[in-house]
């Protein structure tokens, strides 16, 4: 039987491809896999004014779809992909980002995850401001959007291996008509790891013409890939040809062109003198983190290690042929790749593959945090996590937790099926990854994430619950990303108060706080914890990548009044936003837009049973030293703090006594900061947005107010 004969189209929906106006089609695509409904929905002006796009649209649609009792694996749960009005322009770096939203399997509330690749812009140009997928298919299906012909189908096609490096290539071939046509295809897929674990992620592809390879970027956090597979989705595929720089039909194309030209010149001349992202990608953060005690080592116990120098340099490994942007026009081009990497383990052992990465987070997660300072190990782990559809951050941080439990005798080889999960055992890490992806052995437990593992270890293996609470690095159920926040009170709150859980994309304040000492008071920290989360949220409403904002800066940045905000780039972004939409928004306007969506998401957490002060709690390992070895590794620092900050003489005291005093002080500091931030944000002392705040932000919809009133 030919492949075409094996293709079974379950549903067909024809539509008129629609011209975008000022970045929007004002139309979204709804697909229900339970009853095979495919239809167009319109977005009202009122909705657009408040929710803008991207994460905003994702939150808006998910709110309508679920109740407070909906679970991640109920058919009512949705996966929504949306990018926003700026996404898809090609004149400026970092304009291809989408946000994916769903109810997370590990947190139980809404997760939003940002991702590059071509799917989002192609979807927009095909005439859809968002894709909303609900229900569950009976068998594995592909949802295919042919943006050239104006046809959406739900179909079954010959799939074979569902792991991304095989499937995305297969589907790119299947849906393209020629080698040249492959650039017009993007595939969203995951892998068997998402079937078998709660930490599944989504890969969004683009075709790399120079290297003749399918490349992938990840919507990594929160288990969205697990929801995807629970719905029996094999892939979303889109085709769109003839990408041009004006498909958004911007209000003022010249404004965008001029801003883009200026920025491209800046990147070309400045990046080589600054972070050299174009050669190093985000690996450039590794030595910075290690030098400043921020690199997670041995489950966040320490911030640096002498062997970290082995995993700092990657330029010699990368294949430098071609540009490495994850959307057209990105001159920062930080999506680095290692070509022809020979795998040493697992089902594809012996194959030479393309590894997308590593990013800094992966180096921290599956390298330093688990104590394996070996580049080939990191590459192997990166590849398999990607193809299996497993989030490298949740995997690495989860394994680091397991290793500390193993070394403390909480679990042993009988429980791990013989795996010696000591820090530094790279072979055991890889074997565990394969087990998670196969749903076998100890992998069945490890794949559930830290929050569930803590419960299992206490109930089944008699672990001390307080110790596990202290060292289990998760907040709201989401595993921590790869920075040591112990010495930065602002970053502790940046992690603990983030809506989605312990991800740093809301605020990265470590340097401002501890190295530059620019936010010394609680009020300073609270102000930073207002501006940065709100500005960073905005990127996810409009389709932008944050890296070109502040990983490369203009020549005179140090001569501006607030160089940490990179004012010229803020001006650039306003020019892009206003140039596309025709608005005349100021920085205060866009912060207001973000604040509205941010507070809506806070109330969404409340709806789903989180969203209060108790849910902003964080593990003590993220605040201060838990163990004697941690304290004594930085004894001088902590003893000085005892003297200078707490007014206690450390001499004569045991390390345990000193740990207790430091802990009491630091935990109190966190609570004071939380109080200050709540006040700054217009929330109650329980962290609930007040009715005045909701009204000011125009998100005082009846159902929002109804949820909040129950808790006031």
Partner 1 sequence: MLITLRPIGHLKELFPGNRERLELELSGTWTIKNIVTENFDVSPDSISAIVIKGKHRKWDYEPKDGDEILLIPPLGGG
Q: Which residues bind partner 1 (CB under 8 A)?
A: 269-270, 273-275, 282, 284-285, 287-288, 291-292, 359-361, 483, 504-505, 508, 510-511, 515-518, 520, 546-547, 549-553, 555, 557-559, 561-564, 566
Identify which of 567, 686, 576 has the alpha carbon closest to the alpha carbon of residue 93.
576
392 within 8 A of 296, measured Cβ to Cβ: no
**Least gap, CB of 314 to partner 1 (angstroms):** 14
* 3-class DSSP assignment, residue 302: strand
Exposure string over 274-294, b if 16+ CB within 10 A, otherwise e: ebebbbbbbbbbbbebbebbb
> What's the sign of the alpha-carbon dihedral 431, 436, 438, 444?
positive
* Closer to partner 1 by Cβ: residue 203 or 290: 290
CB of 568 to partner 1, least distance (A): 11
Which lies closer to partner 1 via its Cβ, residue 277 or residue 542?
277
Closest by CA position to 708, among listed 613, 614, 605: 605
Cβ proximity to partner 1, 397 vs 557, nearer residue: 557
Q: Give the number of other CB atoms < 10 A from CB of residue 588.
A: 8
The neighbour count for residue 334, using CB atoms within 10 Å, is: 28
Q: Which is nearer to partner 1, 189 or 362 (CB)?
A: 362
For residues 195 and 506, which CB has a smaller minimum distance to partner 1 in the complex?
Answer: 506
Residue 254 Cβ, how far from partner 1 at the closest point, in Å?
Answer: 28
CB of 539 closer than 8 Å to CB of 97: yes
Closer of 292 and 669 to partner 1 (Cβ)? 292
Rounded least distance, CB 177 to partner 1, Å: 38
Name which of 70 and 275 has its Cβ closer to partner 1.
Answer: 275
Beta bridge partners of 146: 151, 239
Give the single-character DSSP code of 563: G
Q: Give the start-end residues of each E strand in 284-369.
A: 337-342, 352-356
Q: CB of 109: closest distance to partner 1 in angstroms? A: 23
> 121: closest CA among 221, 217, 254, 9?
217
For the chain, the straight-line distance linking the first and the last C-alpha, in angstroms and rounded, comes to 64
Pairing of strands 185-189, 233-239: antiparallel
The helix-helix angle for 522-542 and 587-607 (nearest 10°) equals 90
- Tokens, residue 81: 């992909």
- Cα 422 to Cα 122, 622, 629: the distances in Å are 45, 21, 16
Nearest distance from C-beta of residue 393 to partner 1, angstroms? 11
In the bound complex, what is the minimum distance in angstroms from residue 604's beta carbon to partner 1?
25
- Measured from the CB atom, the residue of 284 and 436 that comes closer to partner 1 is 284
Q: Give the whole-angstrom CA distance, residue 587 versus residue 569.
A: 11
Query: How many H-runs (helices) and E-runs (strands) does the chain carry?
Result: 29, 17
Min separation Cβ 580 and partner 1, Å:
23
CB of 309 to partner 1, least distance (A): 12
Distance, CA of 590 to CA of 605 (rounded, Å): 23
Task: Name the minimum Å distance from CB 287 to partner 1.
Answer: 6
Report the residue number, 287 or 417, with the smaller CB distance to partner 1.
287
Q: Identify which of residues 227 and 552 has a Cβ nearer to partner 1 in the complex.
A: 552
If we measure between CA atoms, which residue out of 40, 42, 41, 44 comes closest to residue 15?
40
- Closest contact distance (angstroms) between CB of 563 and partner 1 is 4
CB nearer to partner 1: pick between 47 and 274: 274
Q: Which is nearer to partner 1, 224 or 552 (CB)?
A: 552
Least separation in angstroms between residue 38's CB and partner 1 is 37
Q: State the Cα torsion 307-311-316-318 to the nearest 10°.
A: 170
**How many Å apart are CA 540 and CA 414, to the nearest integer?**
45
């Amino acid at each position: 039987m030919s492949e075409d004969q094996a293709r079974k189209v379950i549903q067909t929906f024809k539509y008129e491809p629609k011209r975008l106006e000022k970045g929007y089609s004002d139309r979204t695509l709804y697909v229900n896999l339970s009853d095979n409904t495919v239809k167009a929905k319109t977005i009202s002006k009122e909705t657009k004014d408040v929710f803008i796009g991207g994460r905003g649209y994702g939150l808006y649609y998910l709110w309508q779809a679920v109740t407070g009792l909906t679970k991640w694996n109920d058919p009512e749960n949705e996966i929504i992909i949306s990018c926003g009005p700026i996404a898809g322009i090609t004149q400026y770096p970092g304009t291809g980002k989408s946000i994916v939203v769903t109810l997370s399997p590990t947190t139980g509330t809404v997760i939003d995850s940002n991702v590059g690749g071509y799917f989002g812009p192609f979807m927009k140009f095909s005439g859809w401001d968002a894709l909303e997928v609900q229900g569950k298919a009976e068998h594995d299906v592909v949802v295919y959007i042919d943006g050239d012909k104006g046809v959406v189908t739900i179909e079954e096609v010959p799939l074979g291996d569902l792991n991304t490096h095989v499937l995305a290539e297969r589907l790119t071939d299947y849906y393209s008509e020629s080698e040249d046509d492959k650039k017009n295809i993007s595939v969203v897929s995951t892998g068997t790891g998402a079937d078998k674990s709660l930490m599944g992620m989504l890969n969004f592809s683009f075709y790399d013409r120079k290297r003749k390879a399918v490349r992938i970027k990840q919507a990594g956090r929160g288990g969205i890939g697990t929801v995807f597979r629970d719905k029996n989705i094999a892939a979303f595929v889109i085709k769109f040809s003839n990408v041009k720089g004006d498909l958004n039909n911007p209000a003022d194309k010249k404004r965008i062109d001029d801003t883009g030209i200026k920025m491209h010149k800046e990147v070309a001349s400045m990046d080589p003198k600054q972070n050299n992202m174009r050669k190093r990608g985000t690996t450039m953060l590794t030595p910075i983190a290690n030098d400043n005690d921020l690199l997670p080592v041995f489950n966040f116990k320490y911030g640096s290690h002498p062997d970290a120098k082995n995993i700092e340099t990657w330029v010699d490994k990368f294949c430098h042929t071609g540009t490495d942007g994850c959307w057209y026009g990105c001159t920062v081009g930080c999506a680095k790749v290692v070509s022809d990497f020979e795998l040493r383990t697992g089902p594809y052992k012996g194959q030479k593959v393309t590894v997308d990465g590593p990013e800094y987070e992966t180096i921290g997660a599956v390298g330093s945090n688990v104590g394996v300072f070996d580049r080939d190990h990191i590459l192997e782990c990166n590849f398999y996590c990607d193809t299996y559809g497993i989030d490298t951050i949740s995997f690495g941080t989860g394994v680091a937790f397991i290793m500390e439990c193993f070394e403390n005798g909480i679990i042993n080889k009988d429980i791990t099926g013989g795996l010696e999960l000591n820090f530094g055992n790279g072979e055991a890490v890889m074997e565990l990854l394969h087990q998670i992806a196969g749903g076998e052995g100890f992998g069945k437990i490890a794949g559930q994430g830290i929050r569930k593992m803590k419960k299992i270890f206490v109930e089944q293996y008699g672990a001390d619950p307080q110790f596990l609470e202290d060292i289990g690095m998760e907040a709201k159920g989401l595993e921590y990303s790869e920075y040591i926040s112990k010495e930065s009170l602002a970053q502790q709150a940046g992690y603990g108060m983030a809506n989605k859980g312990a991800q740093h994309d809301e605020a990265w304040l470590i340097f401002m706080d501890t190295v530059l000492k620019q936010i010394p008071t609680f009020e300073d920290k609270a102000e930073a914890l207002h501006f940065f989360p709100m500005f960073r949220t905005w990127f996810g409403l409009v389709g932008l990548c944050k890296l070109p904002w502040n990983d490369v800066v203009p020549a005179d940045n140090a001569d501006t009044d607030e160089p940490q905000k990179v004012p010229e780039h803020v001006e650039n972004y306003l020019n892009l936003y206003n140039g596309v939409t025709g608005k005349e928004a100021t920085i205060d306007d866009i912060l207001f837009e973000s604040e509205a969506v941010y507070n809506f998401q806070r109330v969404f957490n409340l709806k789903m049973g989180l969203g209060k002060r108790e849910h902003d709690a964080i593990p003590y390992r993220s605040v201060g030293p838990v163990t004697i070895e941690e304290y004594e590794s930085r004894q001088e620092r902590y003893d000085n703090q005892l003297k200078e900050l707490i007014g206690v003489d450390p001499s004569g005291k045991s390390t345990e006594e000193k740990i207790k005093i430091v802990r009491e002080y630091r935990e109190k500091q966190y609570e004071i900061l939380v109080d200050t931030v709540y006040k700054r944000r217009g929330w109650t002392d329980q962290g609930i947005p007040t009715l005045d705040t909701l009204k000011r932000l125009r998100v005082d919809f009846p159902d929002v107010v109804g949820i909040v009133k129950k808790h006031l």
